Structure 1
Amino acid sequence: MAAPVTETHMERSIRHRAPPLLTDLYQFTMAYAYWRAGRHQEPAVFELFFRDNPFGGGFSLFAGLHDCLLFLRSFCLTQADVDFLQSVLPPDTDPAFFQFLRGLDCSGVAVRSVPEGTAVFARVPLMEVAGPLAVVQLLETSLLCLVNYASLVCSNAARFRLAAGPRRKLLEMGLRRAQGPDGGLTASRYTHIGGFDLTSNVQAGFLFGIPVSGTMAHSYVTSFSSLEEVSPQTLAPVNGDLDPVDFISLSKGWLRRVCELLGAEPNKLHEGELAAFLTYAIAYPHNFLPVIDSYSVSCSGLLNFCAVALALCELGYSPRGVRLDSGDLCRQSVDVRRGFKLCGNHFNISTFHSMIIVGTNNISEESMTALNKMENEIDVVGVGTHLVTCTRQPSLGCVYKLVEVRGTPRMKFTEDPKKSTVPGRKAVYRLVDPEGHPFLDLMCLEVEPAPEAGRPLSCYPLGRDDTSLTVTPAQVSCLRQEVFTKGQVTHPLCSAAECRAKVQSSLQTLHPRHIRLQEPESYTVALSEKLHNLVTELRTGSCNNSNFLSAN
C-alpha cells in the first residue's frame, strides 16, 4: 500500500495550482489605490456567496474550503512575483508599494465559514473573510476560483447520486474531457465528496485517497487480430501446486460449450477479441473485467468473455465482470445477466451469479434518471463528460462582496435587486422543524442574540418584498464556524472521506421536496427584523445621498 499523502503534499499542491498571482490584475491596482490613500490597513469584511441554486435545483453543496485554508496559510508573494507585478503595473507606481507587497501575508486575516460538505442555498454567505482591506481584497479572485468549480461539480455529483439511487456504484471517469489537468483533478476530488464511489484518475487516488478503478479500452481489444498474438499462452492455477496449463486450449474448450448453451453461431465470434481477453486474463487473472462491445455483445463479446471467465474459474480465479460502452445499455445488461445466470446454473459456478456489469456511454443526469425507470442489470455506472464539465450549467456564479469597512456596514445598490448585497457582519442560523428537516436559514446581525428553539420569531424572506413571516423552530444550529485566524487554520481540516460523509449526512436531513431533481420547492432564506431594518435604512439613506449634488 502506498504511503498516505501528508498535508504538506496537499499544501504544496495548492501553492503550485493557486499561487498569489493567480488572480485578476485589478486586485493589485485596487490594493495600490488603497495603499496610496492610506486605507490599506482599515479593517474590512467580505462575504462569499452565490445568487441562484445550480442546475435548476433546490440546493447546492459547499466545497473547496480545505483548499482555501491551505491557500491562505501559505499566501505570500515571492521576489519574483513582485518583480513581475512591477513590470505590469504602470511605471509611475510608487516603488515603496512593492516593498509593501513583499511583506504581505494572511496573519491578520480571519475566516468564518459554513462547514465543508454542507447543503447550502442561494444568498446564504458561505465564507466571511475579515482583515486589512488591501489583503482581503487581494484574496477575492483566488478564493472564488477555489470555491466556484469545487462547489458546482460537487453539487452535480450529488444530483447524479440522487438520480442513480443508493444501489449502484458510481465511477468518475472524466479526466480526458475535463477543462485542463487542474479541472480534472478538482473534479475527481469533489465528485467523490459529492457521492461518487470510484475514480479513474490515478493522481486523485494518490493525493486524496479515492478508490481507483479501471481495466481496458476498446483500443486494447482491437489491437489483437488472432490467437497467435497471445503471449504467454499458459496460466498457473491459483493454488500454485500444479503446472501452468495451456490457457488458450482451456478457453477454447469452454467456448464450444458456451456457444451450445447460449445457442450462438461460432462463425460470428471475433478471434482478435478472444485473443485480447485471453492476454488480459493471463496478465490480470484476479481482475478480469473487459469491455465486451468492441464488435458485437451478443454474437461475440459475451461469448468470448464467458469462455475465458469459465477457464479462470476452473483454475480457481474469480473474474469480476464486464463493461458495456455503446448501444442500448439496459437491454444489453439484461441479456448479459441472463447469459451469466445460464452459465452459472448450467456449469454450477457460483462466481457467475456475483459478477458485475459496468455501464459507460455518455451518461447524463437525464439518462441516469431514465435508466432507473427501465429494466436493467447495471451495477456500476461510469460518468465522464456531463459530470466534470457540468454541461447543464458551466458556472456556479459565486461572488465576493464587501459588507463592512471600519465597523460600518456597506451595501451594494443596483437596479437589479438580485445583485444587491446584504450589509454588515452576520451570524447565520439554520432553523429545523419538528421532523428534523431544515426549513429556513436566517441571517442576523452579528450582535443579535441567537434565535431559540421553541420561541416564535419574525423574519423577512428574501425575494418577497417586505413581507414578514413568523416561524417557530424546533431546533436551531449555527452555520458559521471559525476556521482561520492569525495565519493559522483553527478548525481541523477534513479528508475527502470525511467531507463525503458530511455531504450525505447533510442531504439526508433535507426535506425531499427541497432535493428532488425536478421542480424542487424553494428553500427559504430570510433576514432578521434588525437586519431587514438596516437594509431599509441604508437604502433610504442612499436615495437621499444620491441627490446631494442637486441639493448643493
Structure 2
Amino acid sequence: MAAPSTSPRGTLERSVRERVPPLLTDLYQFTMAYAYWRAGRNQEPAVFELFFRDNPFGGGFSLFAGLQDCLLFLRGFRFTEHDVEFLRSVLPPTTDPAFFQFLLGLDCSGVTLRSVPEGSVAFARVPVMEVEGPLAVVQLLETSLLCLVNYASLVCSNAARFRLAAGPKRMLLEMGLRRAQGPDGGLSASRYAHIGGFDLTSNVQAGFLFGIPVVGTMAHSYVTSFTSLEEVWPQTLVAANGAGDLVDVVSLIKSWLSRVCELLGAEPGRIHEGELAAFSSYAIAYPQNFLPVIDSYSVARSGLLNFCAVALALCQLGYRPVGVRLDSGDLCRQSVDVRRVFRLCSERFSVPAFETLTIVGTNNISEQSMTELTKKENEIDAVGVGTHLVTCTKQPSLGCVYKLVEVRGRPRMKISEDPKKSTVPGRKAVYRLLDPEGHPFLDLLCLKEEPPPKAGLPLSCYPLGGENCPAAVTPAQVICLRQEVFSKGQVTERLCSAAETRAKVQSSLQTLHPRHKRLHEPDSYTVALSEKLHNLILELQEASGNFLLAN
C-alpha cells in the first residue's frame, strides 16, 4: 500500500513521479515498442539485465544504489492523456492510432524485478538487476532505470572511497549542492553521498526528504559584510541558564580579546574589527551553534584571535561554542596551530570546553588530498567535500547498461566484435562465495535452473576474462545475491531509509578483503561462469559463426 501523501515516504514517492515520469526516456524506446506492438510481439515474455562493465575510479568495487527510486518508479508507471498527445506529435505520422490507446493501458503489473540488495558491494559484469515482463513494457523501462541507477551508484561509490581515505572516525560533510549538475543532481548527490558514508549534508531539502542530518553556519560573505563593532545589534545576551540580567557581550568580548592577545603575544591593532563584529553578532544570534569560518583575512593574526575572544565570552556565560572552519591554505599545518592555541586557552583560562572544540577543513577536497591529509599530522575533526564528490571528477559516469538476455524462454546474446561488449545470455542466478574468514572472493553466475553451489563442496567455474580455462574453488559460505523486490505491481520488500541503507553499505564494505578495498592498485575481484553457462555461450558463439559463414 502506498504511504499517505503527507508522510515522508509519500513525499518521496511523489518526488519520484514528478522527476521520473514515463516520458523521461529515449525516443527509440517508443519506436521499438511500436514495432514490437505492430508485429504482435509486445506481450512476449522477456528478461533484461542491468550491469556495469568496469569498476569505477580504477577501484576494486562499486556500490549498488538507486533501487528504491526504481521501485517507486515502477509502482507509479502510467501514461497520461497529455503524455500520449505529446507522443503523437513526435512519433512518425504513420504510427497506428491504436498504439496510443495501447500505451494508455500500460502499467508494470506484469513486471517482476529481482535485484541485489541496495547498498551492497557490486562488481563489474555481475548483473545487479533482472527485469522480467512483457517485451514492450520492459523495453520502455530501460533508460529510466539506467538513469536512476547510474548516478546513484557512482556517487555512492565515490563517497565510500572518500570514507575509506578519511578513515572511520573523521566526520564527513557533503556540501556540493552549488556545484552539482542541476537541482536533481544535487539532491541525488546529497542522498547517495550519505548512503556511501558521509555523515552530514548542507542540503536542507535532502534533510527534509531523506532524514540526513543538516549542518551549516556562515560563509565568508557574512564575515566581510561587517566593518565595525558598532554594527553589532543587539549587543546583549542573557546567560545560558537564563538567570540574571542581560550582559553587554561586546564589552565582555573586548575584555577577552585583550587577554587572548596578551597570552599569544599578538598585536590588537592588527585584528580585523569587522571580523570580530561578524563573530560577535553571530554568537549573539546562535550562542549554541558558534562555528565561524576564520580565514577571511588572516587565521593567525585575526580570525583565530577573534574566535577565541568570542568563544571565551560564550563559555563565561555558560554556552558551549562548537569550533572553527578553515577554508584555505595549508589545512593540516593551520589545524595544528589552531589546536595548540585552543589548548593554551583551556589551560591558562581554565576553560575545559576549549579542549573539545571542533576543527573543520574545507578547501576543494579531492580523494587524493583526503588521502594526503590522513597521512599528515593534523588536528582536523571534520572535512567538508563538495565539487569532487558530487561531480565525480575522476569518472563522470558508471556506464551501466541494460541488455536483453532472454525472449520467449530462449537465451539471447550480443556477440560483439569487441569482446568486452559481448553479453552473458540466459536467466541467471547469482551467488557470492566467501572464504573461511567471511571475505567474498568470487561471484558466480549460473543458469537459473542449476542447483546452487554448496558450502564446503568444490566446484568448477570459468573466470570472466580468463583463457577459457576452468578454475576449481571451494566456498566456505554461499550467499544468493538476488531477491525479488517487485511483482504484480507491488513492492515486495520493505523500503529502507537512507540511514538503514547507509548501515548496509558499511556492513557490506567491512566484509571485503582489504586487498579489494585499496584505493590504488587493488587486486581484481573474480567473477566467473558456471560450466553450463560457459558451454551455453560457446554454443551460441558457434551458432552465430556458422550463420555468418553460411551467409
Say whether the fold is shared (TM-score over 0.5). yes
1:243 corresponding residue in structure 2:
245
The question of 1:516 aligning with 2:518 is answered yes
- Residues in 2 aligned to 1:519 and 1:35: alpha-carbon distance in whole angstroms: 49
1:539 corresponding residue in structure 2:
541
- Residues in 2 aligned to 1:439 and 1:242: alpha-carbon distance in whole angstroms: 66
Code of the residue aligned with 1:185 in structure 2: it is L
1:389 corresponding residue in structure 2:
391
- Residues in 2 aligned to 1:130 and 1:4: alpha-carbon distance in whole angstroms: 32
- Residues in 2 aligned to 1:537 and 1:211: alpha-carbon distance in whole angstroms: 54
Conserved 8 A contact 1:169-1:380: yes
CA deviations on 1:156-195 (whole Å, 9 max, x unpaired) are 0000000000120000000000000000000000000000
Code of the residue aligned with 1:342 in structure 2: it is L
- Of 428, 431, 435, 1:429 maps to 431
Q: TM-score, normalised by structure 2?
A: 0.99
- Of 300, 303, 307, 1:301 maps to 303
1:131 corresponding residue in structure 2:
133
2:205 corresponding residue in structure 1:
203
Conserved 8 A contact 1:411-1:422: yes
- Residues in 2 aligned to 1:59 and 1:70: alpha-carbon distance in whole angstroms: 26
1:283 corresponding residue in structure 2:
285
- Residues in 1 aligned to 2:105 and 2:420: alpha-carbon distance in whole angstroms: 38
- Residues in 2 aligned to 1:498 and 1:524: alpha-carbon distance in whole angstroms: 28
Give the deviation of 1:223 after TM superposition.
Answer: 0.2
1:328 corresponding residue in structure 2:
330
CA deviations on 1:188-218 (whole Å, 9 max, x unpaired) are 0000000000000000000000000000000
Seq. identity, %: 79
Which ranges in structure 1 are unaligned for 5 or more consecutive residues? none
Code of the residue aligned with 2:394 in structure 1: it is R
The question of 1:444 aligning with 2:449 is answered no
- Residues in 1 aligned to 2:10 and 2:100: alpha-carbon distance in whole angstroms: 29
CA deviations on 1:75-130 (whole Å, 9 max, x unpaired) are 00000000000000000100000000000000000000000000010000000000
The question of 1:477 aligning with 2:479 is answered yes
Which ranges in structure 2 are unaligned for 5 or more consecutive residues? none
Give the deviation of 1:267 after TM superposition.
Answer: 1.2
Conserved 8 A contact 1:111-1:482: yes
The question of 1:317 aligning with 2:319 is answered yes
Code of the residue aligned with 2:173 in structure 1: it is L
Give the deviation of 1:5 after TM superposition.
Answer: 4.4
CA deviations on 1:463-519 (whole Å, 9 max, x unpaired) are 002011000000000000000000000011111011100000000000000001010
3-state SS, counterpart of residue 12 of structure 1: helix
Q: What are the residue-to-residue correspondences of 1:257-272 with 2, within 5 Å?
A: 257-272=259-274
- Residues in 2 aligned to 1:102 and 1:198: alpha-carbon distance in whole angstroms: 43
Count of matched residue positions in the alignment of Structure 1 and Structure 2: 547
2:489 corresponding residue in structure 1:
487
- Residues in 1 aligned to 2:12 and 2:52: alpha-carbon distance in whole angstroms: 27
- Residues in 2 aligned to 1:230 and 1:480: alpha-carbon distance in whole angstroms: 61
- Residues in 2 aligned to 1:375 and 1:318: alpha-carbon distance in whole angstroms: 27
Q: What are the residue-to-residue correspondences of 1:68-147 with 2, within 5 Å?
A: 68-147=70-149
CA deviations on 1:2-22 (whole Å, 9 max, x unpaired) are x99432111100001111000
The question of 1:194 aligning with 2:196 is answered yes
Code of the residue aligned with 1:402 in structure 2: it is L
- Of 17, 23, 26, 2:28 maps to 26
- Residues in 2 aligned to 1:274 and 1:395: alpha-carbon distance in whole angstroms: 45
Code of the residue aligned with 1:315 in structure 2: it is L
- Residues in 1 aligned to 2:109 and 2:388: alpha-carbon distance in whole angstroms: 40
Q: TM-score, normalised by structure 1?
A: 0.99
Conserved 8 A contact 1:5-1:207: no
Code of the residue aligned with 1:60 in structure 2: it is S
The question of 1:496 aligning with 2:498 is answered yes
- Of 220, 225, 231, 1:223 maps to 225
CA deviations on 1:223-251 (whole Å, 9 max, x unpaired) are 00011100001011111121111110000
CA-based RMSD of the aligned residues comes to 0.8
Give the deviation of 1:547 after TM superposition.
Answer: 2.7
Q: 4+ runs of 1 displaced by more than 2 Å? A: 3-6
